[in-house]
Amino acid sequence: MVRLIQVGMGGMGNAWLRAVGGSDEAEYAGLVEIDEAIARKQCDAYDLNPGTVYATLSEALGRLEADGVLVITPPQFHREQSVEALRAGVPVLSEKPLADTMEAAAEIVTAADETGVLHMVAQNYRYSVPVQTLKSVLDSGAVGQVGAATVRFFRGPHFGGFRESMAHPLIVDMSIHHFDMMRYLLGREVVQVRGFAFNPAWSWFDGDASAHLSLSCEGQVQVGYHASWCSQGAETPWNGEWRFECEGGVVTLEGDRVLVYRPGAEPEPVPEVALPRTGQSYLLHEFVEALRGGPRPATTCQDNIRSLEIVFRALSAVGSGD
């Protein structure tokens, strides 16, 4: 069994507590949580030994033998915790975003490069049935090359917590998933971002919860991105609704279903791909396989910094890149 230390047992901590709890190839060496009440509550809920929970990662690394560290804390702590684990020679699987600034992200990449220790980022949106089905159609070449894409994302979540006081909650905390999906689905890097971010009068977020962006990718492929986190109805799925203008037709992801439209023909639903693992379970398995000498994960920090770069290009485009 691969032995892990999980740092952060809060909201998203639940998804990882379930993934590790349900895994037959990984287990906890220990956990780290600064909030004692959260630690107690989660130990009760997941039947964990409170004696294995530490207040700091340094303490846990000093006392435990671990094969990997899961970083599941808010973004501003990712640099410190990722770099500490990497410099101690322990591989990291970190929640997105890689870091809260490009400078912090670059420091993590430098630590991973200098130590040769694996650091990967959890881009779970890539590993769902709808997104893998979409990817398989686009990659098959059946509808020809992609010339342009449109993404629509509209939801109205009331999270409370750190997101409601961020300057750009949508672009920094949510759109990173869609930007990473864009790179993955198109197989192209984003080279320019233009657009606007704004906060409708009724928004319950302090920062801009809506954005209209225009992203130019390599090979002149253009993407329109319209999104809001303070929408009051007609919500899209978390993946968003996607439309790809292709040489031989249009491929869409609508209501998490993939359809192919060809000129003059009825829309063709695409059968879903079968996946043995999705989301966090997929990522955990990919991490464990890499620790055992298997293939290098797709979303290493060296790759993922390019997804994060789109976030900062977008912030700069909307006039908040400082």
Among 26, 30, 66, 75, binds ligand NAD (CB under 6 A): 75
Residues in the chain: 322
* Least spacing, CB of residue 201 vs ligand NAD, in Å: 27
Q: Are 161 and 74 in contact (CB under 8 A)?
A: no
| 16 binding ligand NAD? (CB under 6 A) | no
Comparison of 123 and 221: residue with beta carbon closer to ligand NAD:
123
CA angle 283, 286, 291 (to 5 degrees): 125
Q: What's the alpha-carbon Rg for the chain, to the nearest Å? A: 20
Under rule CB under 6 A, residue 237 binds ligand NAD: no
Judged by CB under 6 A, does residue 186 bind ligand NAD? no
207 binds ligand NAD (CB under 6 A): no
Does residue 311 bind ligand NAD (CB under 6 A)?
A: no
- Looking at the Cβ atoms of 124 and 304, the one nearer to ligand NAD is 124
66 near ligand NAD, rule: CB under 6 A = no
DSSP H or E run through 182 = helix 175-186
Specify whether the CB–CB gap between 308 and 176 falls below 8 A: yes
Closest residue (Cβ) to ligand NAD?
A: 10
| CA–CA separation, 303 and 183 (whole Å) | 10
Determine the size of the site formed for ligand NAD (CB under 6 A). 23
* Binding of ligand NAD by 170 (CB under 6 A): no
132 versus 222: smaller Cβ distance to ligand NAD: 132
Chain center to CA of 256: 18
Q: Does 256 bind ligand NAD (CB under 6 A)?
A: no
Please report whether residue 77 would count as binding ligand NAD according to CB under 6 A: yes
Span from 30-38, 183-191, 201-209, 246-254 in contact with ligand NAD (CB under 6 A): 30-38
Binding mask 96-135 for ligand NAD (x = CB under 6 A): x-------------------------x-x-----------
Interacting residue with ligand NAD among 91, 119, 173, 270 (CB under 6 A): 173
Nearest alpha carbon to residue 178 among 319, 311, 318, 25: 311
Neighbours of 196 (CB within 10 A): 13
- What is the bridge-based pairing of β-strands 190-198 and 210-217? antiparallel
Residue 42 beta carbon to ligand NAD: minimum distance, rounded to whole angstroms: 8
Residue appearing with tokens 């906890």: 28
Q: Does 10 bind ligand NAD (CB under 6 A)?
A: yes
Which pair of structure tokens corresponds to residue 7?
Answer: 């740092």
Cα separation, 164 vs 158, whole angstroms? 8
d(CA 82, CA 116): 13
Toward ligand NAD, which CB reaches closer, 137 or 166? 166
Q: How many CB atoms lie within 10 A of CB 100?
A: 18
Give the footprint of ligand NAD on this chain (CB under 6 A): 7-13, 32-35, 38, 72-75, 77, 95-96, 122, 124, 161, 173
